[in-house]
Amino acid sequence: MVDYYDKVIAGIAGSLLGGLLIGVVAPIAVQSGLFLGTLAATLLVYDAVFRNPPVPATDPRVAAAAIVWHAVLFSLAIAVFAG
């Protein structure tokens, strides 16, 4: 049985792979395509963590998940645009 969060995880993986595919096929850098995929995945993470959280919104794990995800997104943005 596929749960909502299983679909979210598949969507995150799909958006990252789609971004990688865009970077490979389109005339943009692979890192830029992966960054675009990460931005799309961020929408799914936002939906799963803040709009439909699996734990109460007051649980500290909700904030920790958001901080970790945005740290990954920020480091990827630095790697793409500064390197």
Please tell me the distance from the alpha carbon of residue 72 to that of residue 12, in angstroms, as a whole number. Answer: 14
Could you give the CA distance from residue 82 to residue 61 in angstroms, rounded to a whole number?
A: 31
46 contacts 62 by C-beta, under 8 angstroms: no
Model pLDDT, residue 34: 87
pLDDT value of position 15: 93
Containing domain of residue 35, as a range? 4-82
Domain count, the chain: 1
Burial class (CB in 10 A: 0-12, 13-18, 19+), 34: buried
Q: For residue 39, which of 9, 61, 72 has the smallest C-alpha distance?
A: 72
pTM score, whole prediction: 0.65
CA distance 23 to 4: 29
Split the chain (83 residues) into runs of 10 and give each run's mean pLDDT: 88 92 88 88 86 75 81 84 74
